[in-house]
Structure 1
Amino acid sequence: MQTASKEKTFNNFINNEWVESESRETIKSISPANKAEVVGYVQNSTKEDLEKAVQAAHQAKKSWRKLGQAARGQLLYKVANIIEENLEDIAETMTREMGKTLPEAKGETARGVAILRYYAGEGMRKDGDVIPSSDKDALMFTKRAPLGVVGVITPWNFPVAIPIWKIAPALVYGNTVVLKPATEGAVTAAKVVSCFAKAGFPEGVLNFVTGSGSVIGQALIDHPLLNGITFTGSESVGEGVAKSAANRGIKFQLEMGGKNPVIVTKDADLDKAVEAVISGGFRSTGQKCTASSRVIVETEIYDAFKEKLIQETKKITVGDGLKEGIWMGPCASESQLNTVKKYIEIGKEEGASLIYGGEQLAGEEFDKGFYVSPTIFEDVQPEMAIAQEEIFGPVIGLIKAENLDQAIEIANSTKYGLSASIFTSRIDSLLEFIDEMDAGLVRINAESAGVELQAPFGGMKASSTGAREQGEAAKEFYTAIKTVFIKG
């Protein structure tokens, strides 16, 4: 890895060179498990740095498109192999930088490898269809054309998987890329980009610039040479992305979070439901856009479910994700910890009953980082802020429902519609849930969090805008259909 004067400094990657920012300034990335530990430094880039990256991508897009889909796929295979060779280091960096446990970080990095291999295979798959023409002497078919330069803006909670599931399809379908990761996950992202660099991509095909969202992110969003932008992050920033892209008539793809419900019916297997709610709500410290945050339970089995949920939650071990036996790590940053604490106080003020956790953890180890206990509220009403707004932390709200119809009505009563799950043993109940739930991902007898890489991913309502991510659906965003008519 190319470094600057500081031992742990990671440069921008522009036109196949690791370069310092014009500012000569860096941003410190600290460990949320131990705020005294510096994981590394990344560049505090300027608009001039971003301009160089976009220009490099713009200059490279024609030759990259002409290389051909099969050759592009072969390069992705190389990246997959290199990341696999460096899996331990990348995963450990992820745990140190954003706090998720090492087993989770290894799983995410392995998923990145699998995503790369999936899209590498796209290099040998069709990119169009033959269509019958009304003229018997003509040939008509479609082919896919890349957009050109694609901007990729990614969050900190999945610093390997999300950049890869955006970059891999963008590249194999013939686009060039400028990646701007969240600064809280930028050291991990730099190590991923280094694997792309080692694979031998042509100059300018993949560019990597770090810095503040207000400077680098906004400059990328507004750049006139951009042909498409894919963004995962907050709703407020996503709205700005949509406005800028719409004004220029370029494609945009937004994933902006969720307030995901789990419905537990009276005929459900309570042990499986509890296990899934804990996993969906508390793994990754609740910092997933698909995390379970509202648990809607039929009244008849509510008390039994609540008792089991508390019993199992008590078994969760919290601490540094690098240590063995730790189930839940810290919040990813002090800012995120403060957000979680704020919503816990809001829940109390609104009249919800705090029945487990809800405190910032203290003590020798905990004082070093940003730790909060897994938190459970009951007496939550559907209109409360803690039932409507995304907290992005380990906070679950229990809501009672008299029957399935009321449970689905409550589940749909937010502006979000990303994922949802139900636990039931009745086929009619699950079929009704599938039809009536306003969510892009519905899961039956499984936690709300998680999606398979070969399946389309995205939400409804305020959760997502634009074409779906992952699987074959990614082609719809990263390409345009060109219809060809040939007359002899």
Structure 2
Amino acid sequence: MTKKYFNFINGSWKEALNGNTIESRNPAAPLEAVGNFQSSSKEDLSEAIIAADQSFEAWSSLSYIERGSYLYRAAEEMEKMVEEIAETATKEMGKTFIETKGEVKRSIAILKYYAGEGMQQIGEVIPSADSETMLYTKRVPLGAVGIIAPWNFPIAIPIWKIAPALIYGNTVVFKPASESAITGLKIVEVFEKAGLPAGVLNAVTGKGSIIGEGLVENDHIKGISFTGSNPTGKRIAIGAVERGIKYQLEMGGKNPSVILEDADLDQASKMTVDAAMKHTGQKCTATSRVYIQESIYEKTKEKIIKHIEAIKVGNGMDEDTYMGPVATKSQYDSVLAYIEKGKKEGAKLIYEGKSLTNELREEGFYIEPTVFEDGKEGMAIVEEEIFGPVIVLMKTSGLQDAITKANSSRFGLSAAVFTNNIKNSVIFSDKVDAGMIKVNGETTGSEPHVPFGGMKDSSSHSREQGKAAKEFFTSIKTISTTI
């Protein structure tokens, strides 16, 4: 019998009032059910929001160190559940077990980092013009906040939102993506086992049109942190502005990697393929545009293809799998449609991957690594986020041309340059419009203690992770005390 998972509201696991559920299926074997989760209504959401609102005063009254102790305990509980959470994530959204296991370990590090933030400076003393006046600032939490997470990083992204929200004194209503809802509920279980007070963290699953919109509309919610698609993010921004609340958006990317003639080509080709194909290309920071200097184009292309030929596609739970299926049937259809667009628009398809057996195709949502060349501005595969294992190789005359082409996108999340010339690396880092720049590294990956976020259409220009998180999850209060 398929296991049923419940909402977590005010410290208790609860069935949705309407009794409806949604079945989560394994993209590697779509006939296999992972479990059923609640298809909640706005009434369920309202109950969760009220719980968060009512628990806010007591939670925010605790010291930072007391709140941090709960995050330390949550990290300890997550360490006991590494295998369980990772396996659930792999079975829900397809990426390999080694990748989801790494994501759990990263989440543990994030919890410990923010637990430590409870002992860091949180305000400033500022000189006053009046010698008898003490002038200082302190940061105060927003209140109950809504967190809407994506399916592609179903563990780390919720944690890097929930952990700072809690340490800075906010209470949370969390909506996990439906494609990875059960994984999201496993995260909540970690906090329950850590003894987090009732109402401080609540989770409600269901359709975005009901739960996501309900979070934005509810007067008790004082901030929204969202990671997901650009169209949804823009709707959230409009709703938040209308209500006058804070919002934080992390959205799409069309990330370039630039390979210059003085680069280590073995390193550059390997890292470019890893950045494009790991997680089946389902990262907002995945490399999708590759600009290669003309003098080394053919040699580099050959190395890239050689790495791609070695990729094994299969079930993410198999040890030797490099690349699992895409997460859903709709994602599968979307990626295949982009590949067809690329062909029709005139890009040259140079690698469609090794042929998968009919059995494997029928078994799951598998797409082979795909490589185009001769992409041009205006082509969908060059300008739009595909979110799948597809890259476009293009020639560039040199650094300045590559910078111009890298900046031609409406997105600005991450970018990489491969070069052994320090001057080139500095110029690239200064001139490319992206929130994260890698020199001789993958466009993907970010350490927990550094700011993460994009420019242009990739972001609301806020930043997540590290100390930057307090800029969103707190407001500054200035206090002047005259003796």
Verify same fold: TM over 0.5: yes
Cα distance per residue 1:218-252 (max 9 Å; x no partner):
11111111100000000000001111111111110
Cα distance per residue 1:411-464 (max 9 Å; x no partner):
110100000000011112111101110000000000101111100000000000
Q: Quote the offset at 1:258 in angstroms.
A: 0.3
Q: Does the CA contact (< 8 Å) of 1:359 and 1:372 recur in 2?
A: no
Paired position in structure 1 for 2:430: 435
User: Which of the numbers 194, 204, 213 marks the counterpart of 2:208?
Assistant: 213
1:344 and 2:339 are equivalent in the alignment: yes
1:241-320 to 2 correspondence within 5 Å? 241-320=236-315
Paired position in structure 1 for 2:32: 37
Cα distance per residue 1:350-376 (max 9 Å; x no partner):
000111016984422332100000000
> Is the partner of 2:395 in helix, strand or coil?
strand
Paired position in structure 1 for 2:104: 109
Cα distance per residue 1:138-177 (max 9 Å; x no partner):
1111111000011000000000000000000000000000
Task: Quote the Cα distance in structure 2 between the aligned partners of 1:183 and 1:358.
Answer: 30
**TM-score computed with the length of structure 2 as normaliser:** 0.99
Q: Does the CA contact (< 8 Å) of 2:309 and 2:353 recur in 1?
A: no
User: Which of the numbers 363, 366, 369 marks the counterpart of 2:364?
Assistant: 369
Q: Quote the offset at 1:8 in angstroms.
A: 1.2
> Is the partner of 1:200 in helix, strand or coil?
coil
1:377-388 to 2 correspondence within 5 Å? 377-388=372-383
1:98 and 2:98 are equivalent in the alignment: no
Q: Does the CA contact (< 8 Å) of 2:27 and 2:364 recur in 1?
A: yes
1:331 and 2:326 are equivalent in the alignment: yes
Task: Quote the Cα distance in structure 2 between the aligned partners of 1:7 and 1:137.
Answer: 69
**TM-score computed with the length of structure 1 as normaliser:** 0.98
> Is the partner of 1:227 in helix, strand or coil?
strand
> Is the partner of 1:465 in helix, strand or coil?
coil
Paired position in structure 2 for 1:453: 448
Paired position in structure 1 for 2:19: 24
Which stretch has the larger CA shift, 426-435 or 255-264?
Answer: 426-435
Q: Does the CA contact (< 8 Å) of 2:455 and 2:461 recur in 1?
A: no
Say if 1:360 and 1:15 are closer, same or farther in 2 by CA, change over 3 A.
farther
User: Which of the numbers 135, 138, 144 marks the counterpart of 1:140?
Assistant: 135
Q: Does the CA contact (< 8 Å) of 1:341 and 1:359 recur in 2?
A: no
Cα distance per residue 1:377-412 (max 9 Å; x no partner):
001113211010000000000111111111111111
Amino acid across the alignment from 2:75: A
Q: Does the CA contact (< 8 Å) of 2:257 and 2:443 recur in 1?
A: yes
Amino acid across the alignment from 2:291: I
Task: Quote the Cα distance in structure 2 between the aligned partners of 1:405 and 1:138.
Answer: 54
Cα distance per residue 1:238-271 (max 9 Å; x no partner):
0011111111111100001100000001111110
User: Which of the numbers 464, 467, 480 marks the counterpart of 1:469?
Assistant: 464
> Is the partner of 1:30 in helix, strand or coil?
strand
Task: Quote the Cα distance in structure 2 between the aligned partners of 1:324 and 1:128.
Answer: 48
Unaligned runs of 5+ in 2: none
Task: Quote the Cα distance in structure 1 between the aligned partners of 2:137 and 2:146.
Answer: 26
Q: Does the CA contact (< 8 Å) of 1:233 and 1:257 recur in 2?
A: yes
> Is the partner of 1:365 in helix, strand or coil?
helix
Paired position in structure 1 for 2:117: 122
Task: Quote the Cα distance in structure 2 between the aligned partners of 1:360 and 1:335.
Answer: 21
Task: Quote the Cα distance in structure 1 between the aligned partners of 2:190 and 2:232.
Answer: 29
Q: Quote the offset at 1:67 in angstroms.
A: 1.4
Deviant stretches of 4+, over 6 Å: none
Which stretch has the larger CA shift, 77-86 or 357-366?
Answer: 357-366
Unaligned runs of 5+ in 1: 1-5
Task: Quote the Cα distance in structure 1 between the aligned partners of 2:377 and 2:48.
Answer: 46
Paired position in structure 1 for 2:222: 227
Say if 1:360 and 1:472 are closer, same or farther in 2 by CA, change over 3 A.
farther
Length, aligned pairs only: 483
Q: Does the CA contact (< 8 Å) of 1:252 and 1:466 recur in 2?
A: no
